[in-house]
Amino acid sequence: MSDAVAGEGGFIPTCEEAFEDIEEQTRSYQDSLQELADAAGINLEDIRNGVSNLIDEFEVLVEENDDILNRMRD
């Protein structure tokens, strides 16, 4: 089976090349995203922090709702 998915040079070199391509494309995407954010005057770190805060707040809300439902059942 490895022969079927292996490219030139064998399975390991083919996988290494694929991961290098993925890393390169990821860096390119990050750079493009940062350029877009800079052009729009948006701080991506602020957005990330805001999302993290929302996640924390939703977790608290879910816990509070669970408490209310438990009290209603009692």
pLDDT digits (tens, 9 = 90+) for 7-41: 567 788 888 889 999 999 999 999 999 999 999 99
Radius of gyration for the alpha carbons in the chain, expressed in angstroms and rounded: 23
How many CB atoms lie under 10 A from the CB of residue 44?
Answer: 13
Tell me the whole-structure pTM to 2 decimals. 0.52
Percent of the chain whose pLDDT exceeds 90:
43
What pLDDT is recorded for position 34?
92
Angle at 25 between CA 49 and CA 52, to 5 degrees: 10
Domains of the chain, residue spans: 1-42, 43-74
What pLDDT is recorded for position 13?
83
The per-residue DSSP string of 3-36 comes to: HHH-BTTBHHHHHHHHHHHHHHHHHHHHHHHHHH
